Amino acid sequence: MTDRPKRGVPEGMWMRCNQCKATIFRKGVEDRFNVCPECDYHLYLPAHKRIQQLLDEESFEEWFADLRPRDPLGFKDRIPYSERIIQEQAKTNMLDAAVVGRGYIRGRPVVLGVTDFAFMAGSMGSVVGEKLTRAAEEATRLMLPLIFVSGSGGGARMQEGILALMQMAKVSAALGRYDRAGGLYISILTNPTMGGVAASFALQGDLTLAEPGALIGFAGKRVILNTVRLELPEGFQTSEFLLRHGFVDRIVHRKDLRTEVARIVDYCEN
């Protein structure tokens, strides 16, 4: 009898759902664009996968890809902000938390912007605001539908202070000009969409779609409890709650998003 090496399970083959805690086959989850096959929970989806999910294959042309964040305040918490940027860029292979460009959804040309939670919780600094503003300006110039997919748990980036806060007004002003020019702006809210992002461009869409179970709001439940000592009701900041109270127009499952957006563009552009 020969000694054979014990066969183990390859690293990373299985993962655990954040909601139902089931152990699930990673490849099966990825094939469903990171939706749990057991409970339908919508897990985090990176920006490049969002683009792949929404747009026609190989139709995306990225714009302003060379914009890089700086450290104008010389900010330092646990580590200097300049070092944190380098770490985040190495971890995510992104220069900052937003990707914008032009692509096609079922043959329809659109301008698309996506914020990615993996880069500093998708927080909005100068580069994120500048990219989204330029995307809105290009959509105005080209008279194309504009789609922003928001995935920010960090709101305005504290390491850039007022320079980050002013991006809320800058992006909103660009969207205002786009609206006056007759453009169609579709906002897609994902888990989470919080802080200054929710307080500005994310909730300014002509049509606002949200993924099921997404956390959407300004200050989170724990922040509210620790500041004003108020316990929020169950499900207060979910997309389902916002739909019932008129802040969201429709909740759309991730697998249906491309079809739904294409239908909206067809209806509004004809």
Secondary structure of 222-251 in HEC code, one letter for each residue: HHHHHHHCCCCCCCCCEHHHHHHCCCCCEE
Give a yes or no: residue 108 inside a domain.
yes
Give the whole-angstrom CA distance, residue 108 versus residue 133.
Answer: 22
pTM of the entire predicted model: 0.92
Residue for token digits 């499952």? Answer: 253
Residues 25 and 135 in one domain: no
Residues 188 and 123 in one domain: yes
- Per-residue tokens: 245: 């109270």
Q: Write the DSSP symbol of residue 115.
A: E
Residues 61 and 115 in one domain: yes
Give a yes or no: residue 3 inside a domain.
no
Residues 51 and 37 in one domain: no
pLDDT of the residue at 12: 75
The number of folded domains in the chain is 2
pLDDT of the residue at 11: 66
Domain harbouring 208, CATH code:
3.90.226.10
pLDDT of the residue at 36: 93
Residues 192 and 228 in one domain: yes
pLDDT of the residue at 230: 81
Residue for token digits 């909601």? Answer: 19
Q: Write the DSSP symbol of residue 13.
A: S
Residues 27 and 97 in one domain: no
pLDDT of the residue at 39: 93
Instruction: Give yes or no for a contact between 150 and 210, defined as CB atoms under 8 angstroms apart.
Output: no
- Per-residue tokens: 44: 């985090």
Residues 27 and 123 in one domain: no
pLDDT of the residue at 270: 67
Low-confidence ranges of the chain (pLDDT < 50): none
Tally: H helices and E strands in the chain: 9, 9
Instruction: Give yes or no for a contact between 128 and 99, defined as CB atoms under 8 angstroms apart.
Output: no
Residues 67 and 177 in one domain: yes
Instruction: Give the structural domain span for 21.
Output: 11-43
Give a yes or no: residue 242 inside a domain.
yes
Give the whole-angstrom CA distance, residue 22 versus residue 261.
Answer: 31
Give a yes or no: residue 32 inside a domain.
yes
Give a yes or no: residue 1 inside a domain.
no
pLDDT of the residue at 101: 98
pLDDT of the residue at 228: 83
Give the whole-angstrom CA distance, residue 137 versus residue 121.
Answer: 25
- Reduced to 3 states (helix: H, G, I; strand: E, B; else coil), residue 103 is strand
Residues 153 and 206 in one domain: yes
Give a yes or no: residue 5 inside a domain.
no
Q: Which residues of 171-195 are buried (b: 16+ CB within 10 A; e: fewer)?
A: beebbeebbeeebbbbbbbbbbbbb
pLDDT of the residue at 4: 60
Residue 62 CA: distances (Å) to CA of 65, 66, 135, 256, 258: 6, 10, 10, 24, 19
Backbone angles phi, psi at 213, to 5 degrees: 70, 10
Residues 68 and 117 in one domain: yes
Instruction: Give yes or no for a contact between 48 and 99, defined as CB atoms under 8 angstroms apart.
Output: yes
Residues 33 and 70 in one domain: no
Q: Are strands 250-251 and 14-16 parallel, antiparallel or unpaired?
A: unpaired
Give a yes or no: residue 131 inside a domain.
yes
Give a yes or no: residue 234 inside a domain.
yes
Residues 247 and 135 in one domain: yes
Name beta bridge partners: 188.
149, 209
Nearest CA among 264, 259, 119, 266 for reference residue 187:
264
CB atoms under 10 Å from CB of 102, counted, come to: 19
